Amino acid sequence: MKNYNVDQKLEEIQKVIDEGPYADDWSSLASYEVPKWYEGLRFGIFIHYGVFTVPAYDTEWYPRMMYVKDSKAYRHHIETYGKHTEFGYKDFLPMFRAENFDADRWIGIFKKAGAQYVVPVAEHHDGFQLYESELSSYNSKDMGPGKDILGELKRSAEKAGLVFGASSHRIEHYFFLGEGRDFDSDIKGEFQRGDFYWPSVKGPSDLDAIDGECVPTEEFMQDWLVRTCEIIDRYEPKILYFDWWIQRVELRPYLKKLIAYYYDRAARKGQSVIINYKHDAIPFGIAVPDIERGQLASQKPYRWQSDTAMCFNSWCYTVDNKYKKAKDIVCDLVDINSKNGTLLLNIGPKEDGTFTREETDILLSIGKWLDENREAVFETKPYRIFGEGPTVVAEGGFMDGEVKEFTSSDFRFFAGNGSIYAIALRPDPKGTYLIRSFAKKQGMLNEKIGSVTLTADGRKLPFDHNENGLIIRYETDSDMPVAFNITPI
């Protein structure tokens, strides 16, 4: 077990804040501005990888659910591994070997998928760090794989020209394994800082509550701050992503210090960074809001992010994963981009470090479409309106359980290179597309149109422009969205 001087670490953190342009209060942090480089991001890759891929059952919440009596994970654990007193979650640690993990191969596939940034989960709720740490022995360098997974991904990502980020889910570890105290298991007795199961308290009845029961202790919040600052110092992520529970009011003083420290460290190095957050955990304008498994219904004047998984049922690899279709993910990507957002798409590698064939095929299909239509998505900005069409996109998180049935009348608009780009989210079986927003006189496009071309290959397409709209004719056997480049004379 490693130990460290908490007071010394906190003093070092405070010194950086005192010497930097940002103080640890909301009024000072409100002077933050989204950096220019972030304006160009459209598509990134999220990675959920860790010890939970060893059982590969249920979801990445297996570490918690295996201790929830009578849950399917609890029953599966006993049937497969035995009683919890004989085989607990910690006993999976030596089984997590990542023997085929190859950061260059991972990043190479992400690059082919068209990703511009990558955000690995540095530490999930289970408390196992995927990076080298001087604060805890329970990390992938000292145990299991014997590899600094986060560090290797950073080197490969930056070598390939991708923006590197990191995600911390540490705060939820406070209660994540606490259900193991409800019966005779390996989670019993008192744990100390540095123990894998520390503190494993009983969780709140409402996991989304901002206060009330299950108040994190001062010691744990200090540890959270120091751990997160270690990620910042050691890996210098340009994006720092937080899952939920940082909205707890008790954490506010430490959250302010963390944000100030991150922004001040970046400023000292002449860099600019961003933070992603959920559930109004941070006052609006101080960081970039994120919506989990959901989207916004309309275009926004501010940058935002949607994070979602490639699977309907889990963020990590399981033997029963149910995969989305590439065409539906591309539709969501285009919709999100048209509303000034960016999509962070999660992949869940297997324990050995390989990807499933389904994941690889989905990524390569997305990449092929983005490669052919790059100018319509990556070289543009949102248009005056995000689009038109009969299909309503529900606003809010956790809305991706049902596939949206887009039609060939659902368009998303972009502007750039002196052109307007209209993307039909579904091909029309008869090869005729009517864009009503671009009707002559009454519409938004009263210019004389010089040409309409297919963005994918530049071929000129027949069109009519009248009082009913812009009518484009193009036939295809593909089921992917179709991008048109509309150029005025």
Give the mean pLDDT of 427-446: 94
Q: What is the pLDDT of residues 355-412, one digit of tens each?
A: 999 999 999 999 999 999 999 999 999 999 999 999 999 999 999 988 999 999 999 9
Q: Which CATH class is domain 6-292?
A: alpha beta
Residue of 1 and 192 predicted with greater confidence: 192
Residues in the chain: 489
Counting runs of H as helices and runs of E as strands, what totals does the chain give?
13, 16
Residue keyed to tokens 């009503």: 436
- What pLDDT was estimated at residue 1? 65
For residue 62, how many C-alpha atoms fall within 13 Å in the half-sphere facing its CB? 28
The pLDDT confidence band at residue 445, using thresholds 50, 70 and 90, is confident
Taking a C-beta distance cutoff of 8 angstroms, is the pair 52, 62 a contact?
yes
- What pLDDT was estimated at residue 443? 85
The answer, yes or no, to whether the previous bond of 199 is cis (omega within 30 of 0) is: yes
Residue keyed to tokens 């957050």: 277
The token pair that represents 443 in the structure block: 């519409």
Taking a C-beta distance cutoff of 8 angstroms, is the pair 46, 307 a contact?
yes
For residue 212, how many C-alpha atoms fall within 13 Å in the half-sphere facing its CB? 9
Averaged pLDDT of the chain: 97
146 pLDDT exceeds 90?
Answer: yes
**Percent of the chain scoring above 90 in pLDDT:** 97
Q: What is the pLDDT of residues 467-483, one digit of tens each?
A: 999 999 999 999 999 99
Closest of 61, 102, 67, 107 to residue 88, by C-alpha: 67
Closest of 278, 240, 280, 266 to residue 120, by C-alpha: 240
- What pLDDT was estimated at residue 149? 98
Residue keyed to tokens 């342009």: 21
* Distance from the first to the final alpha carbon of the chain: 70
The residue extents of the domains of the chain are: 6-292, 383-488
Q: How far apart are CA 241 and CA 289, in angstroms?
A: 10
Q: How far apart are CA 451 and CA 49, in angstroms?
A: 47
Note the CATH number of domain 383-488. 2.60.40.1180
DSSP 185-230: SS--S---TTSTT---PPPPS-TT-SSSSSPPPHHHHHHHHHHHHH
Q: What is the pLDDT of residues 84-139, one digit of tens each?
A: 999 999 999 999 999 999 999 999 999 999 999 999 999 999 999 999 999 999 99
DSSP 275-328: EEE-TT-S-TTSSEEEEET-B-SS--SS-EEEEEESBSS-SS--TT--BPPHHH
2 pLDDT exceeds 90?
Answer: no
Angle CA(207)–CA(212)–CA(217) in degrees, nearest 5?
Answer: 90
Taking a C-beta distance cutoff of 8 angstroms, is the pair 11, 56 a contact?
no
Closest of 292, 362, 351, 344 to residue 57, by C-alpha: 351
Taking a C-beta distance cutoff of 8 angstroms, is the pair 421, 486 a contact?
yes
Angle CA(282)–CA(288)–CA(292) in degrees, nearest 5?
Answer: 90
Q: How far apart are CA 367 and CA 113, in angstroms?
A: 4
